Structure 1
Amino acid sequence: MGRTLHAVSALALGLAGCAAAPQLQPPAPIQPDAAARWADPASALSEAPVPAQWWRLFHDDTLGDLQAEAARSNLDLQAAAQRVAESRALLGLAQAARWPQVAAEASQTRSALSAHSPLVRLGAPTTPSSSWTLGLQAGWELDLWGRLRHLGEAAGARLDASAFGMAAARVSVAGEVARTYLLLRGAQAQIAIGQENRRIAAELVRLADSRQRNGVATRQDAAAARASLADIEARQSQRLQQRDNLTNALALLLGMPPGALDARLAGAGMPAMPQRLPVGVPSDLARNRPDILQAEARLRAAVADIGAAQADFYPRIGLAAGIGYQAAELSDLGSWSARRFAIGPTLHLPVFQGGRLVGMLALAEARHRAAGIAYRQTVLGAWHEVSEALTAHRTERARHGQLEAALAQGRVALDVARRAYRQGTADFTSVLVAHRALLAGEAELADCATASALSVVALYRALGGGWSAALQADAATPQEEGP
Structure 2
Amino acid sequence: MLLALLLSSCHQGGPTFSDIAPAEFPPADARRPSPKTEAWWLALNDSQLNGIVARVEQGNLTLAQARERLAAAAAISHSASSGFLPNVALSGSATGSSSRTKVDDISRRPAQLNLETEWEIALFGQDKLAQQSADLDRYIAAEDVNAAKLSVAAEAATSYVRLRALQHQRKNVDLLSSAKAKARDVATLRSRSGLATRFEAQAATEDSAAMAQQKRLLDNAIADEIQRIAVLQGVREGDATLSAMRPQPVASNARVTAVPADVLRQRADIRRAEFAVLKAGAEVGIATSDLYPKLHLSGMIGIGSPVSGSIFGVMGGPSLQMPIFDYGKRLDVVEVKKAQWREAVAAYRQSVLVADGEASSALRTLLAARLETARANSAYATAQKGLAQAKLLSREGLSDASALVTRQIEAADTRSQLTEATKNEAEALIAFAKATGGSLAAQAPGIATFPDKRRKSGS
Equivalent position of 2:74 in the other structure: 88
**Residue from 212, 216, 240 that aligns with 1:233:** 212
- Note if contact 2:264-2:356 (Cα within 8 Å) is conserved in structure 1: no
Q: Does residue 255 of the first structure (1) align with residue 255 of the second (2)? A: no
**Residue from 83, 106, 116 that aligns with 1:137:** 116
Partners of 2:264 and 2:7 in 1: CA distance? 39
Partners of 1:99 and 1:476 in 2: CA distance? 26
Max radius of gyration: which structure?
1
1:288-307 residue pairs with structure 2 within 5 A?
Answer: 288-307=266-285
**Residue from 15, 19, 22 that aligns with 2:11:** 19
**Residue from 439, 449, 453 that aligns with 1:472:** 449
With over 3 angstroms needed to count, the CA separation of the structure-2 counterparts of 1:200 and 1:434, relative to structure 1, is same
With over 3 angstroms needed to count, the CA separation of the structure-2 counterparts of 1:145 and 1:398, relative to structure 1, is same
Partners of 2:410 and 2:427 in 1: CA distance? 26
Equivalent position of 1:216 in the other structure: 195
What code does the residue aligned with 1:230 have? A
1:2-60 CA deviation, whole Å, 9 max, x = no partner?
xxxxxx2x11122212222124144333769xxxxxxxxxxxxxxxx986112122221
1:302-341 residue pairs with structure 2 within 5 A?
Answer: 302-328=280-306, 337-341=310-314
1:89-108 residue pairs with structure 2 within 5 A?
Answer: 89-108=75-94
Moved more, 461-470 or 362-371: 461-470
**Residue from 154, 166, 178 that aligns with 2:157:** 178
| TM-fit CA distance, 1:190 | 0.7
Partners of 1:458 and 1:241 in 2: CA distance? 25
1:176-215 residue pairs with structure 2 within 5 A?
Answer: 176-215=155-194
Equivalent position of 2:29 in the other structure: none
Partners of 1:96 and 1:180 in 2: CA distance? 47
Q: Does residue 74 of the first structure (1) align with residue 51 of the second (2)? A: no
With over 3 angstroms needed to count, the CA separation of the structure-2 counterparts of 1:252 and 1:398, relative to structure 1, is same
Sequence identity of aligned pairs in percent?
A: 27
With over 3 angstroms needed to count, the CA separation of the structure-2 counterparts of 1:462 and 1:54, relative to structure 1, is same
Q: Does residue 110 of the first structure (1) align with residue 88 of the second (2)? A: no
Equivalent position of 1:398 in the other structure: 371
Partners of 2:244 and 2:167 in 1: CA distance? 8
- Note if contact 1:133-1:325 (Cα within 8 Å) is conserved in structure 2: yes
| TM-fit CA distance, 1:280 | 8.4
- Note if contact 2:61-2:234 (Cα within 8 Å) is conserved in structure 1: yes
| TM-fit CA distance, 1:410 | 1.6
Equivalent position of 1:38 in the other structure: none
Partners of 1:281 and 1:431 in 2: CA distance? 49
Unaligned runs of 5+ in 1: 1-7, 33-48, 114-118, 478-483
Equivalent position of 2:39 in the other structure: 53
Equivalent position of 1:42 in the other structure: none
Partners of 1:314 and 1:408 in 2: CA distance? 79
Unaligned runs of 5+ in 2: 26-34, 455-459
| TM-fit CA distance, 1:425 | 4.5
Query: How many residues align structurally?
Result: 436
* 3-state SS in 1 of match to 2:96: strand
What code does the residue aligned with 1:457 have? I
| TM-fit CA distance, 1:341 | 1.1
1:382-411 CA deviation, whole Å, 9 max, x = no partner?
111211121112111111111222222222
With over 3 angstroms needed to count, the CA separation of the structure-2 counterparts of 1:360 and 1:432, relative to structure 1, is same
What code does the residue aligned with 2:273 have? A
With over 3 angstroms needed to count, the CA separation of the structure-2 counterparts of 1:204 and 1:293, relative to structure 1, is same
Partners of 1:20 and 1:106 in 2: CA distance? 43
* 3-state SS in 2 of match to 1:269: coil
Q: Does residue 282 of the first structure (1) align with residue 260 of the second (2)? A: yes
* 3-state SS in 1 of match to 2:248: coil
Partners of 1:352 and 1:251 in 2: CA distance? 62
* 3-state SS in 1 of match to 2:81: helix
What code does the residue aligned with 2:54 have? A
Q: Does residue 29 of the first structure (1) align with residue 15 of the second (2)? A: no
What TM-score do the two structures reach when normalised by structure 1? 0.83
With over 3 angstroms needed to count, the CA separation of the structure-2 counterparts of 1:174 and 1:398, relative to structure 1, is same
1:209-242 CA deviation, whole Å, 9 max, x = no partner?
3333344333212101011112222222222222
* 3-state SS in 2 of match to 1:105: strand
| TM-fit CA distance, 1:455 | 1.4
What code does the residue aligned with 2:82 have? A
Partners of 2:391 and 2:170 in 1: CA distance? 25
- Note if contact 1:110-1:130 (Cα within 8 Å) is conserved in structure 2: no
1:175-229 CA deviation, whole Å, 9 max, x = no partner?
1111111111111111111111111112222333333334433321210101111
Equivalent position of 1:456 in the other structure: 429
Partners of 1:207 and 1:72 in 2: CA distance? 56
Partners of 1:138 and 1:308 in 2: CA distance? 24
| TM-fit CA distance, 1:381 | 1.4
- Note if contact 2:36-2:446 (Cα within 8 Å) is conserved in structure 1: no
With over 3 angstroms needed to count, the CA separation of the structure-2 counterparts of 1:286 and 1:206, relative to structure 1, is closer
| TM-fit CA distance, 1:350 | 2.2
Moved more, 58-67 or 84-93: 84-93
- Note if contact 2:305-2:311 (Cα within 8 Å) is conserved in structure 1: yes
What TM-score do the two structures reach when normalised by structure 2? 0.88
| TM-fit CA distance, 1:476 | 5.9
Partners of 1:156 and 1:31 in 2: CA distance? 26
RMSD: 2.8
* 3-state SS in 1 of match to 2:298: strand
